Amino acid sequence: MAATVSENAVAARGDRVVAYLIDFALLSAVAFGLWLVTFVLNTVLSVGAMAAASPESPGAMGGGSMLAAGLLGIVINFVLWLAIGAVLVYYFGYYAESNETVGKRSQNVAVVDENGTPPSQRDRLVRTAVLLAPFPIMLLLGGILGGFGFVFASVLMAGWLLVEAAVMFVSDDAQRLGDRVAGTYVVSADQ
């Protein structure tokens, strides 16, 4: 008797977790690299603004320079988060085209619908949208708070990913929230 899609999803749960961790590590490395570039730019701006001391008081910071550096820093932080968003769109756009991510390909797992066939593009977008639900808040935190925002945003995303993983582990059919909303499963590609 052939296993159901749900049974195949439960059997592939371990491989799915490894795929999830691989994808998370790749995306985190790119995000951290982008954040590091932003951190260096903001540091250079801050040091430059502090060097713009007024002639009457050599140790004082120029108020206009600090304000300009602060505003430019906020713009740079928003650009950072837009770049991270672009990476996510590219990554999941690639996923939408090929129906697999780097992690899924490495673990030989695939996303399918209830019938065991590749999901529609709409279903893939829905499950990805649920996974990335915290991103708008992350954009605001990161853009406004800079380096501290990156930390808060990372904690927010990690918390959301833990919720998604917990749902996957406690559900009888190994579906995370995005899978439940989209009606998809992650199964071994060999099935």
pLDDT digits (tens, 9 = 90+) for 12-32: 999 999 998 888 888 888 878
pLDDT at residue 87, as a whole number: 77
For residue 1, name the pLDDT band (cuts at 50, 70, 90).
Answer: very low
How many structural domains are present in the chain?
A: 1
- What residues does 188 pair with on adjacent strands? 109
Strands 184-188, 109-113: pairing kind = antiparallel
AA identity, residue 168: M
Three-class DSSP category at 118: coil
Smallest CA-to-CA distance from 24 within 161, 147, 178, 180 is with 161
For residue 49, name the pLDDT band (cuts at 50, 70, 90).
Answer: low
In a domain, residue 164? The reply is: yes
- What residues does 109 pair with on adjacent strands? 188
Query: Which helix (H) or strand (E) is 105 found in, with range?
Result: helix 102-107
In a domain, residue 148? The reply is: yes
| CA–CA dist 2, 176 (Å, integer) | 24
| CA–CA dist 90, 94 (Å, integer) | 6
Query: Which helix (H) or strand (E) is 112 found in, with range?
Result: strand 109-113
In a domain, residue 151? The reply is: yes
Q: Which of the residue ranges 19-23, 63-67, 75-79 has the most confident prediction, judged by mean pLDDT?
A: 19-23
Whether residue 72 is predicted with pLDDT greater than 60 in this model: the reply is: yes
AA identity, residue 183: G
Exposed, middle or buried: residue 9 (CB in 10 Å: 0-12, 13-18, 19+)? buried
pLDDT at residue 179, as a whole number: 94
In a domain, residue 90? The reply is: yes
> Among residues of the chain, what percentage have pLDDT more than 90?
25
Q: How many residues does the chain have?
A: 191
Whether residue 46 is predicted with pLDDT greater than 80 in this model: the reply is: no
Whether residue 54 is predicted with pLDDT greater than 70 in this model: the reply is: no
Supply the mean pLDDT for the chain. Answer: 80
Model confidence over 134-178: pLDDT tens digits? 888 877 776 677 667 777 877 888 899 889 989 999 999 999 999
- What residues does 187 pair with on adjacent strands? 110
Model pTM?
A: 0.75
- Joined together, the tokens standing for residue 33 give 């690299």
In a domain, residue 115? The reply is: yes
pLDDT at residue 115, as a whole number: 92
Q: Which of the residue ranges 57-61, 88-92, 151-155 has the most confident prediction, judged by mean pLDDT?
A: 151-155
Quote the domain boundaries for residue 143: 5-47+66-188
Exposed, middle or buried: residue 64 (CB in 10 Å: 0-12, 13-18, 19+)? exposed
In a domain, residue 56? The reply is: no
